[in-house]
Amino acid sequence: MQTTLLGVGRTTLYQWKQGKIGPLDRHVLERLSYLFGIYAALQIYGWWQWTRAGTMHDGRQVTRLDARSILLGLSVGAIGSLSLGAAMAHWTDAAQPWLDAALTGFSLVAQLWMAQIRLQCWALWFVLDVIFVGLFIYKGLY
């Protein structure tokens, strides 16, 4: 409501632009900013891991996760996906809330594994990207 009422005193191109972003209410932007904040934090963590971690502070080496760590990471992704999916299905009008939530939950796991330079992140990113492409085609976002 606030964005569409700015500049009502006179008709300007600015008003038209405000009307175009009006549907992006502050709640949607807040949810997106939280997600962007998480990804930004993972990027900073990854930069530190890649450049400063290790005993000599020269960065981590590429490592593999053991089966227990893979299962733990995928479990966290599944729990996050179910929680986010339930919230999206209840409070948003997303076209595919459960799939969007699953892709988000597992993308965060893949991002964490990438930050830690884990070899398995590539397989997870590959699977996620294939599903993302299918979802974008389904939604007509090509």
Output the pTM of the full model: 0.75
pLDDT exceeds 50 at position 14:
no
pLDDT tens across 106-134, in order? Answer: 999 999 999 999 999 999 999 999 999 99
Q: What is the mean pLDDT of residues 13-36?
A: 56
Could you tell me where the DSSP H helices lie in the chain? 2-5, 13-21, 26-51, 67-91, 97-115, 120-139
pLDDT exceeds 60 at position 59:
yes
CA 104 to the chain's CA centroid: 5
Grade residue 29 by pLDDT with cuts at 50, 70 and 90: low
Give the highest mean pLDDT range of 28-32, 124-128, 135-139: 124-128
Q: What is the mean pLDDT of residues 77-95?
A: 93
Q: What pLDDT, on a 0 to 100 scale, did the predictor assign at position 34?
A: 82
Identify residue 43 by its one-letter amino acid code.
Answer: Q
